[in-house]
Amino acid sequence: MTLNITCIPGDGIGPEIVAQAKKVLDKVAEVYGHEMKYTDILMGGASIDACGEPLTDEAIATAKAADAVLMGSIGGNTSTSPWYKLPPEKRPEAGLLKIRKALNLFANLRPAVLYPELRGACPLKEEISAKGFDMLIMRELTGGLYFGERKTIEENGMKKAIDTLTYTEAEIRRIAIKGFEIAMKRRKKVTSVDKANVLDSSRLWRAVVNEVAKDYPEVEVEHMLVDNCAMQLVKDPSQFDVILTENMFGDILSDEASMVTGSIGMLSSASLNDSKFGLYEPSHGSAPDIAGMDIANPIATILSAAMMLRYSFDLDKEADAIEKAVDTVLKDGYRTGDIYSEGCEKVGCTKMGELITERIK
C-alpha cells in the first residue's frame, strides 16, 4: 500500500524526532512491502521565519491532500523567542489551532501509560505506582473555550477580557461516540469529566454523554467533576480507562496524566476527524533548550507513527511491530537521558531511532 504522509518537523527538537520516526516507518515499509511518500510542510516558528505566518493556506492544502499528518513539535522559548513578541494570532501555537480547526480534528486521543520498565520514573508513592496504569484521555479538540468568541474591551476606563465556552449537542455527541467506541476496544469504562456543578456547558455535556451511553450497554460510565479528577489522577490513576472530556479540561488533565507517568518523552497522541484522517504527534513540546543536541527522546514520535498506522491505515500488524520494537529496546536496557536510570545504557536521539529500527520484524 502507498501511504501519503505529510510531515511537520516544526521547531526545537521536532526535526530530530521526526527524522527518527521516518527511519522507523521506512523500515516498516521495507519489511511489510509498503511505500511511504512524505511531503514536508512548515508550521509554527519555522513557518513564521520562512513565510511570516505560523501556517499558510498552501500548507493546509498539502496536509488535506495527504492520508495522515505526522508532526514533531512547534514553538520556542516563550520568554526569549522573538516569535512571542508577535500578536497571539501570529505566534507558533496559532498554527496548531488553525490546523486542528481546518482539518476538523475534533477527537484528541492521549494515552498515558506507566511502562513497567519505567515504573521508577513515576513520581507517585510506590504503593500507588505498583498497581500500574493505562488510560486514554479523549479530549474534545475543536470547541469550547479555545474556539469560542473572545475579545478584550474597555468599559469605564477598565479593561475587560471575555472568553466564551460554547458546546452544541452535536459537538458533544460526536466526541462521546468516539470515547465509547474506543472504550469498547479497551477495558470498557468511560469516566466523563465535567464541571456540572457550575457550568451549563457541562450540564449539557453530561446529559448528552448519558444519551450516547445507552447505545453502549457494555460500557461502565461514571461522571466526575474536573477538580476531583485532578485529585484522583494522583491518588489512584489505575481507576481510569477512558477519560472523556472537553477541550480545556483535557488540556490540563492530559498534562497531569503525562507527568504522573514520569516519562512524557514516551507518550504519543492522535487527533482525528470523522474519516480515517488524523494528525499524530508526541504529547511533549518542542524542548528548545535541548534542540540540535541529539539527546531528545524520539519514542513518543515513533509511537505516534504507530498510532498513525493503526488508526489512519488500519495497519495493525505494522503498528504492533513498532510498539514491540520499542518494548524490546527498553527491555534491552537502552534509555535516552530523560528516562535514564542506573544500570541502563544511555543513548542519544539518533541512536535510539536506529536501535528501534533494527528491531522492526
Site residues, ligand IPM (CB under 6 A): 93, 96-97, 251
Scanning 1-9, 224-232, 244-252, 289-297 for contacts with Mg ion by CB under 5 A, the matching segment is 244-252
Residue nearer to ligand IPM on the CB measure, 93 or 256: 93
Say if residues 349 and 17 touch (Cβ distance below 8 Å). yes
Residue nearer to Mg ion on the CB measure, 16 or 251: 251
Is 11 marked active-site? no
- Angle between the N-to-C axes of helices 14-32 and 299-313, in degrees from 0 to 180, rounded to the nearest 10: 50
Rounded to a whole number of angstroms, the minimum distance from the CB of residue 93 to ligand IPM is 4
| Residue 96 binds which of ligand IPM, Mg ion, none (CB < 5-8 A, kind-dependent) | ligand IPM
Residue nearer to ligand IPM on the CB measure, 253 or 360: 253
Say if residues 69 and 5 touch (Cβ distance below 8 Å). yes
Name 243's bridge partners: 137, 191
**Which of 11, 22, 98, 146 is flagged as catalytic?**
146
Is 255 marked active-site? yes
Residue nearer to ligand IPM on the CB measure, 95 or 353: 95
Rounded to a whole number of angstroms, the minimum distance from the CB of residue 225 to ligand IPM is 21
CA distance 21 to 71: 10
Is 251 marked active-site? yes
| Residue 53 binds which of ligand IPM, Mg ion, none (CB < 5-8 A, kind-dependent) | none
CA distance 43 to 179: 29
**Which of 49, 227, 236, 316 is flagged as catalytic?**
227
**C-alpha 72, offset from chain centre:** 11
Q: SS3 string of 190-243?
A: EEEEECCCCCHHHHHHHHHHHHHHCCCCCCEEEEEEHHHHHHHHHHCHHHCCEE
Answer for which of 16, 194, 246, 251 binds Mg ion (CB under 5 A) is: 251
Whole-angstrom CA distances from 22 to 40, 176, 178, 179, 316 are: 12, 33, 28, 29, 18
Q: Which three cell numbers stand for residue 5?
A: 504522509
Rounded to a whole number of angstroms, the minimum distance from the CB of residue 325 to Mg ion is 28
Cβ burial, residue 352 (10 Å; 0-12/13-18/19+)? buried
Scanning 49-57, 83-91, 249-257, 318-326 for contacts with Mg ion by CB under 5 A, the matching segment is 249-257
| Residue 196 binds which of ligand IPM, Mg ion, none (CB < 5-8 A, kind-dependent) | none
Q: Tell me the catalytic residues.
A: 146, 195, 227, 251, 255
By CB under 5 A, name the binding residues for Mg ion.
Answer: 251
